[in-house]
A and B are shown apart, each in its own frame.
Chain A
């Protein structure tokens, strides 16, 4: 037996506990008028489970720091006959012990008791729950003042409402984190300091008479900035309500804190939440250590740049491969600006998604993150979206395309025109990036129009389009309308190079199997195939045409393989038909051209080897294996040490899932184990506080 559901039912003033085998059995227990909550727990030794005599037994919920290493300690220190009583969960009460003898609980409690943060013990008599002990480790000092936003008088009433809500949510989270997950306190400090900065910005923009404000005389620009900052607050408040519910419910007293995510309503998903922090926080730390966007902001205006190519016919990636243009050449010594850490949470609606302040993972991952389709490796792509937004904001000097100053853009446009009229190549490195992106817009517009012409049945034997730089207003419109595509292509390229070693096997299989669950892919298949081919092409050689052929060949090879392995997968069958259809490939070849140009710009000028190395090979526990990684911790193994290289760990799990390694345990079981392991990666020093 791998798992059992703990079902708590409230009948009048009494709570009863029931052990059920599966969700169907849980549903059978529910009755109108009776509140119920449940959570699955997983046996440490599924082959040797020892369920207690149901008439009278104890349940102990252990809240440990580093539960993953704690279990490793228990495995080596505890008498073998006691181990079958141990279970683990998705909640902050990550270790659960069910036994008939309280001595067993005390024996477990005595091992590394210093890392115990809280414990709750129930006696169950004829199903009736009697809490007999709740203990929490005393919090040494009260630092709650550190979680208060800097106050500003006279904010708009509706802004105040959001601020108050957010303040109370963060205070409540900090209060719980202080004894249940103190490693999250620095994360919350950073959050509070960033929110204080947003509030300061709102205050300044609300009081335009204050001297020194750059756009005090431009009420529209000021309102736009004010709206953006207010929107940031609203987004943060909304995302934090998810975080608060997922991170801190299920703490003692369990009867009083309910998680809102079935079937985890009893113990919550605090450990699963911590595992998201383990992955996302690690990547954000590395990106902070090698601040590419800040390097562009601080240095690229004064560094000599390079040509950006006047036409696609003569474009060669070698124009950007000189050492002096390499981002790694300029990273050293740059001071990183403090970065707001992303809030992370599971979402039933959003799936894997990145917004300005939050990254969500699908709730399906809670059941199946150790498989291919719901692997947490997809978080890497979402993280790259945030990274690209930062890069684009540094390159274009604007946090979003709507806020690009028209005056500044006229200068960018003038420089592009000058360049295309044959003006000298005396451009700075930031100009190279900027003009490259504008060039993409020009090439993209022409190629889109030509590709569209292919679909019209005319008698001529050829189709022709001009590449033209329009006036500044129109070019800005193009940039705004292509902005999402630009972000998408750049995110793909960075994801491929940083997290998949720029090797296609794992990347393509993971990508297309995960896309099988996304309805939008089928509706816009061409675009998804294009993204894939363009990304893979950044590691192929030759002319732009040769790179297209090579990348299409690689993509088609894996799509065909996958479609054969998954004959019922309609999306893969459609993708296969697409890449084997000559007329569609002809259109794809045209669309490829501008996107390849942008992808090469990204791969040559914006990929840092320092970041790649830090992300993947930070630990001697990970070693290359084929096109992926192998990690020294095996499935469902508890070695008594934490995961130190979370990206390599998740990559190794993904490779294992792709190889369809025969697991004796269910996907749900190994996914719960993966969360425990990944949660052990969280470090307080990732954050600045």
Chain B
């Protein structure tokens, strides 16, 4: 089968991306993809320490990064 695809063409199943694999391994796979919110839900969120955010502006491509506690100067 694989050889046939290699010799005569065809579209093999797309390999799992690193991100998808991470989601599948950690938060339950396809069931978590029903909405954006669920997809990024982390079961043990109460143990997380938010240290900052990263945001990208899709119009300009600008990236904004913010830290919860900024580093001291110098």
Contacts and interface: CB of A to CB of B under 8 A. Distances in A.
Interface of A: 307, 309-315, 417, 420-422, 442, 446-450, 452, 454, 456, 458, 460-471, 474, 477, 481, 523, 545, 582, 586, 589-590, 593
B9 interface: no
A449 B52 contact: no
Interface of B: 15, 17-19, 22, 26, 36, 40, 42, 44, 47-59, 61, 63, 65-71
A93 B53 CA distance: 65
Given A586-B61, A590-B63, A310 B52 contact: yes
Contact of A421 (B17, B19, B53, B69): B69
What's the dominant secondary structure at chain B's contact region?
mixed
A420 to B, nearest CB: 5
A315 B66 CA distance: 11
Nearest to A462: B57
B35 to A, nearest CB: 11
Nearest first, the 3 A-B pairs at minimum CB distance are A311-B67, A313-B65, A471-B47
Given A312-B52, A313-B70, 10 more contacts: A307-B71, A309-B71, A450-B56, A452-B19, A461-B57, A461-B59, A462-B55, A464-B54, A466-B52, A589-B63
Contacts of A467: 50-54
Given A313-B65, A586-B56, A586-B61, A468 B71 contact: no
11 contacts: A313-B52, A314-B70, A315-B71, A420-B51, A420-B69, A450-B55, A454-B58, A464-B53, A464-B54, A474-B26, A593-B65
B37 to A, nearest CB: 12
A462 B56 contact: yes
A466 B53 CA distance: 4
Contacts, number: 112
Given A311-B66, A420-B69, A590-B63, A468 B54 contact: no
Contacts of A593: 54, 63, 65
Contact of A471 (B44, B52, B54, B58): B44
B49 A417 contact: yes
A312 B65 contact: yes
A470 B58 CA distance: 28
Contact of B56 (A309, A454, A458): A454
A318 B53 CA distance: 23
Nearest to A463: B56
Contact of B54 (A312, A421, A477): A312
B31 to A, nearest CB: 18
Contacts of A420: 49, 51, 68-69
A310 B26 CA distance: 26
A586 B62 CA distance: 9
Given A313-B67, A420-B49, A461 B58 contact: yes
A417 B51 CA distance: 9
B63 A311 contact: no
Contacts of A469: 48-49, 51
Chain A at the B interface: mostly helix, strand, loop or mixed? mixed
A313 B19 CA distance: 24
A589 B61 contact: yes
B70 to A, nearest CB: 6
B50 A449 contact: no
Contact of B58 (A311, A313, A462, A465): A462
A464 to B, nearest CB: 4
A589 B69 CA distance: 24
Contacts of A590: 54, 56, 63
A477 B26 contact: yes
Contacts of B61: 582, 586, 589
Nearest to B58: A461
Contacts of B63: 545, 589-590, 593
A442 B67 contact: no
Contacts of A460: 58
Contacts of A311: 51-52, 65-68, 70-71
Nearest to B20: A452
A371 B22 CA distance: 40
A310 B69 contact: yes
Contacts of A481: 22
A460 B55 CA distance: 12
Contacts of B47: 470-471
Nearest to A477: B26
B21 to A, nearest CB: 8
A419 to B, nearest CB: 9
Contacts of B70: 310-311, 313-314
Given A471-B48, A589-B61, A446 B71 contact: no
Contacts of B65: 311-313, 593
A317 to B, nearest CB: 13
B67 to A, nearest CB: 3
B49 to A, nearest CB: 4
Contacts of A466: 50, 52-53
Contacts of B58: 454, 460-463
A417 B70 CA distance: 15
A449 B69 contact: no
B44 A464 contact: no
A464 B55 contact: yes
A468 B68 CA distance: 10
Contacts of B50: 466-468
A165 to B, nearest CB: 35
Contacts of A422: 69
Contacts of B69: 310, 420-422
Contacts of A589: 61, 63
